[in-house]
Chains A and B, each alone.
Chain A
Amino acid sequence: MFSKPVPADSLYLAWAAAVFPLAAFGIIMIFLRRLPKAAAGVSLSAIAVSLVCAVCLLARHWHLEMPLESTVQWMASSDFEIPVGVLIDGLSLLMLVIVSGIAFLVQLYSIGYMAGDPGYARYFGFMSLFAWAMTSLVLAPNILQLFIFWELVGLSSYLLIGFWYEKLSASQAGKKAFVMTRAGDTLFFCGWLILLVWGGTVSILDLNHSAHSLSQAMVTASALLVFGGIAGKSAQFPLMTWLPDAMEGPAPVSALLHSATMVAAGVFLLGRLFPFFSQSDAAMTVCLFIGFVSMLLSATMAMVSRDIKQVWAYSTVSQLGFMIMALGAGGYAAGIFHLTTHAGFKALLFLCAGMLIHACETNDMFEIGQAGGRRMKLTVLCMTIGALALSGIWPFSGFFSKEEIMAALAAANSPVWYIGGLAGVFLTAYYSFRLIFVILLPGSTKAHGPGSQSGPEHARAVMHAVLVILAVITLVMGFFAESLQNLLTGQGVNAPGVHGPFPAKVVSPVLAIAGIVVAWLEFGRKDSARIGFAGRISPVARLFGQRWYLDHAYGWLVGRILDRGIAEGCQQNENRVIEKILHTVAGSVTACGRAAAGWHRAMIQSKLMVVFAVVFGLTLILLAA
């Protein structure tokens, strides 16, 4: 066996962490729709319980040597059973703490941010639904259970993106996110069906430990299909364009779902099945490649965007690409560690962006800068800390995780990945500080300060407290790198500690600083043109601004191939073939019925004839029997 049963008290803790938010969701949706304060209280206390449970679990199993797994049978079909239960190992513990922690902080922040919104109770209900789905996803011991919660997470994402459903763009963005992730999930579904049918198991531990006994082709095929789901959920190329649109939701939602936790579920799944994936070189190469492409593409998109939330969204895609590259290069601990740090500083960045947007009532960073966004000193300070972490500057958490990733990439088989990674580091620093400088050092400011301060004083205090907590986490997280790696690799995941060559350790911070300097030269200087180097060449700017025409490509694909080609062909088939066949069949059945009815409608003797014929037939049957 690869696992030990979970001790009873840990089991209760794990269940409690998952079930409390569900209970909160039910209570809010059924009883508290009209009581926003109570709804917020219930939701917050539930997620607080989850957080406490998660921290207790982490503390208890800090020196975990072997994964703990407890399952009960859910249903059994002829020769395989589908269990449900919990799987506790370093990865799930870490993710559980991240999810419940960020969810708690974001909900706390939301109390102020969402104040006065007519859908206040609904918002907290959906947040609880998400918390339940995400914690259960993290604890799932088999792929089926994981898939169920994977879909539930997608559902809550859809609900929260379209939270302001009166706005057309919001509901469209929700639909887009739902459909695009669904495209990936279909592949994921096929992938685990292959595993179930030919591999005979969906248990994660079994898969990880017995992958080498399965045939290579099957492992590759199912791994690639599962990777499709990962690409959809984590917004990787080519299914990446839903994430920037998903920023239509409230800023805390973007912070929680679309940067810190939900989109990280794809990376989490990749880490979950890391030993399985590493059995297939082809799948790993695809991971590397897809991560590489999405990382660079979205970094370039972030360079020209003016929408502050979209910049962070592109940056999220880019950082997720980094993680997937790291995992694809074999740096298991590096990828997951980056996930952890990224969750912290990206949530921080989004929450700061939310503060600025709330205060200035615009998403455009230039307008925010001109409206005097820098006067919100604490917010801008926290944002700068987040941006420093994102760029990978010592001593912020991003530095440590990025170092790990660069080391893993340097150890990969081809230098292309490493060079690409370095370019990514440079671009990341550039676009983050472009944003920071635009807000911090606007060319000219209007006389009056930022608009109406949001909410009552104590709510703002809570929001600021959340920002400070996240900033502190971002500051200190990097120094726990060693112990987190021990936690992650302590259970036989064969990831040798990768230590890059010395130049690698120097090159990437230097490039990051170079990026900051370039950003300062173009946006920060007093008499700068305030146009990025990409913006000077208009075709390139247009290319980046239009997201490399990916949406156009999809539009073309959907319009030409799906609508005109397949759908029209299907319609022709429907009209010309199927309906004709149906008409013929229906017509002949009707005619037969008419004929048969005719015998009964006709005079006695025709009926009599039928009776004779039937009796004759019955006699024959009886004789034959």
Chain B
Amino acid sequence: MTIYAVFFYIIAALIIAATGLAITRKHMVHAVLCLVVSFFGTALLFYLLGAPLPAIFQVIIYAGAIMVLFLFIVMMIRIDPEKTHRFPLGHYLAAGGICGAYFVAAVLLTLLSGPRARQPMPAATASPFDFGYYLFDRHWLSIEMISLLLLVALIGTLHLGLGRVGRKQKKGGGQ
């Protein structure tokens, strides 16, 4: 077992533990903070798997931007965690059934995978230069589409956020 493997297992345990904590917290702030830890772990894992640029993006975008956005929203929306209702038992059972089926399928697929997938993967790194070159060489159109998507998301968010306010203002003006 190489040192990489040790790191992998440690990071994997960290990610799973943090995510597990995140999904079970009653307070959403706690959940988001746990998830930040999980995303940091993911970033480390990316780095370990030879993807330094996605690792950095993971930290900047996921752990930084998205999670902070979550924090803002969580703080904006005040909900008493003690007052939330629980689902009926049947719902939990059904969810457990489906998740169990997925889990069994995943384990079975892992066990049944071919010999090549059982070989330890060789370590390799795609330098940010290579990665960027590859990306803009092959996927320039997709990049443009992604940028468009982000623009649309931006406008949509603005619309959703402003629409109500605008109407309220109009109402107020009417009064």
Contacts and interface: CB of A to CB of B under 8 A. Distances in A.
> Is A bound to B?
yes
Contacts of A606: 91
Nearest to A613: B98
Interface string B72-99: 0000000000000001000100110010
B23 interface: no
B149 interface: no
Contact of A616 (B87, B91, B94, B98): B98
A619 B94 CA distance: 19
Nearest to A606: B91
A609 B105 contact: no
B102 interface: yes
Interface in A579-625: 605-606, 609, 612-613, 616, 619-620
Nearest to B95: A609
B113 to A, nearest CB: 12
Contact of A605 (B91, B101, B105): B91
Interface in B90-141: 91, 94-95, 98, 101-102, 105
Given A605-B91, A606-B91, A620 B105 contact: yes
A612 B98 contact: yes
A457 to B, nearest CB: 98
A229 to B, nearest CB: 65
A3 B174 CA distance: 102
Nearest to B99: A612
Contacts of A605: 87, 91, 95
Residue with the greatest number of chain A CB neighbours at <10 A, chosen from B91, B98, B105? B98
Interface string A518-554: 0000000000000000000000000000000000000
B103 to A, nearest CB: 11
Contacts of B87: 605
B102 A609 contact: no
B170 to A, nearest CB: 31
Contacts of B94: 609
B95 A616 contact: no
B102 to A, nearest CB: 6
B114 to A, nearest CB: 14
Contacts of A616: 98, 101-102, 105
Nearest to A602: B91
A78 to B, nearest CB: 48
A606 B91 CA distance: 8
Contact of B98 (A609, A619, A620): A609
Contacts of B91: 605-606, 609
A593 B96 CA distance: 24
Nearest to A611: B98
A426 B88 CA distance: 97
A613 B94 CA distance: 10
A616 B99 CA distance: 10
Interface of A: 605-606, 609, 612-613, 616, 619-620
Interface of B: 87, 91, 94-95, 98, 101-102, 105
Given A616-B98, A616-B102, A616-B105, 14 more contacts: A605-B87, A605-B91, A605-B95, A606-B91, A609-B91, A609-B94, A609-B95, A609-B98, A612-B98, A612-B102, A613-B98, A616-B101, A619-B105, A620-B105
17 contacts: A605-B87, A605-B91, A605-B95, A606-B91, A609-B91, A609-B94, A609-B95, A609-B98, A612-B98, A612-B102, A613-B98, A616-B98, A616-B101, A616-B102, A616-B105, A619-B105, A620-B105
7 A-B pairs with least C-beta separation: A612-B98, A613-B98, A609-B94, A609-B98, A616-B101, A609-B95, A616-B102
